[in-house]
Amino acid sequence: MGWWQEAIVAAKRNDPAVRSGAEVVLTYPGVHALFFHKFSHFLYRHKRFLLARIHSQFWRFLTGIEIHPGAKIAPGVFIDHGMGVVIGETAEIERDVVLFHGVTLGGTGKDAGKRHPTIRQGAFISANAQILGPIEIGARVKIGAGAVVLKSIPTDATAVGVPAKIVKINGKKVPHD
């Protein structure tokens, strides 16, 4: 399956408002940002850092979604209502991840090298969640709206709050003190 087909499938799977593939291709800024990130990332990998940044900033201006050219993003990621999404340089996002508006995959300012989160396959990151530092969000994790995640979250968990706390693992409530 080609990149555009995967983007359309991801949009249809995650957004009940989708009416057609053409609508996704022509009007979804998250799809545009991810598509043009592919070229920025190509430039970055080939050490054309300034051109990569200029290209990414142009698309940030048009879409409201800031993706650093160094970020590694798999096909099938879906950014819904993308305004204000920020994805840092060393962030890694696997397939079938959903990000909503205002999500930050950022650094804390304390780390060198790998500074941004890794988001595993099938994670669902709700609006305005802030995921900070070189942490891992496990496969099929759900992060609640407005959560501030500073520690890794294991596979099949749900985390909410500031700072984020795990409230479910494998669909079962987690007792808290």
Per-residue pLDDT reduced to its tens digit, 2-17: 877 888 899 999 999 9
Q: How far apart are CA 55 and CA 129, in angstroms?
A: 26
Residue 116 per-residue DSSP state: S
CATH of 3-173, one of 2.160.10.10, 1.20.810.10, 2.60.40.3080, 3.40.630.30: 2.160.10.10
Q: Where are the domains of the chain?
A: 3-173
What pLDDT sits at residue 177? Answer: 62
Q: Could you give the dihedral angle defined by the CA atoms of residues 83, 9, 98 and 144, in that order, rounded to the nearest 10 degrees?
A: 100
Residue 47 per-residue DSSP state: T
- 143 close to 165: Cβ distance less than 8 angstroms: no
Question: pLDDT digits over 131-149, tens only?
Answer: 999 999 999 999 999 999 9
Question: pLDDT digits over 109-135, tens only?
Answer: 877 899 999 999 999 999 999 999 999
Q: What is the residue-averaged pLDDT of the chain?
A: 94
| pTM, full prediction | 0.93
Question: pLDDT digits over 36-46, tens only?
Answer: 999 999 999 99
Residue 54 above 80 pLDDT? yes
